[in-house]
Amino acid sequence: MKNLKGALLFAQSGGPTSVINASACGVFEEAFKHGEITQVLGAAHGVVGILNDELYDMGKEDPAEIHRLLGTPSSALGSCRYKLKDYRDDETDYLRILEVFKKHNVKYFFYNGGNDSMDTCNK
């Protein structure tokens, strides 16, 4: 990680659970400890937030509030059930995701959720 300097983006989708919030807490708290991570971002409503460039700057949040995510039910950043099309059929979403990543200099990306979320990551 020492050579890769840029922003970290965390997104979540699927069913809202306190486990997803606990994962977000862990990612955010650890990210703040690394100088090569220049900004810690959270996407509103999963991949839909990325497509719409709706990102929260988690560095502006109170660290105590972020830590409270450990025991908070639901999905703090919001969720979605949006399924990406196969890029061979329509690459529009993929190009938009890359555009948003470049705009915010995203070098680290975490996506948390269930089966459909992992399908999104796989694509």
pLDDT for residue 70 is more than 70: yes
pLDDT for residue 16 is more than 90: no
Q: Is 114 left (phi over 0), alpha (psi -120 to 50) or beta?
A: beta
Query: For all residues of the chain together, what is the average pLDDT?
Result: 91
Average pLDDT for residues 6-22, to the nearest whole number?
Answer: 88
* % of the chain at pLDDT higher than 70: 90
Tell whether 13 is covered by a domain.
yes
Domain count of the fold of the chain: 1
| Higher per-residue confidence, 14 vs 51 | 51
Range of the domain at 84: 6-118
CATH number assigned to the domain comprising residue 42: 3.40.50.450
Tell whether 1 is covered by a domain.
no
3-state DSSP helix/strand/coil % of the chain, to nearest 5: 40, 20, 40
3-state secondary structure of 97: helix
Put simply, whether the predicted model's pTM sits higher than 0.85 gets the answer: yes
CA dist 100 to 35, 44, 106, Å? Answer: 22, 13, 8
pLDDT, position 18: 76
pLDDT for residue 88 is more than 80: yes
pLDDT, position 79: 87
| Higher per-residue confidence, 48 vs 122 | 48
118, 14 contact by CB (below 8 A):
no
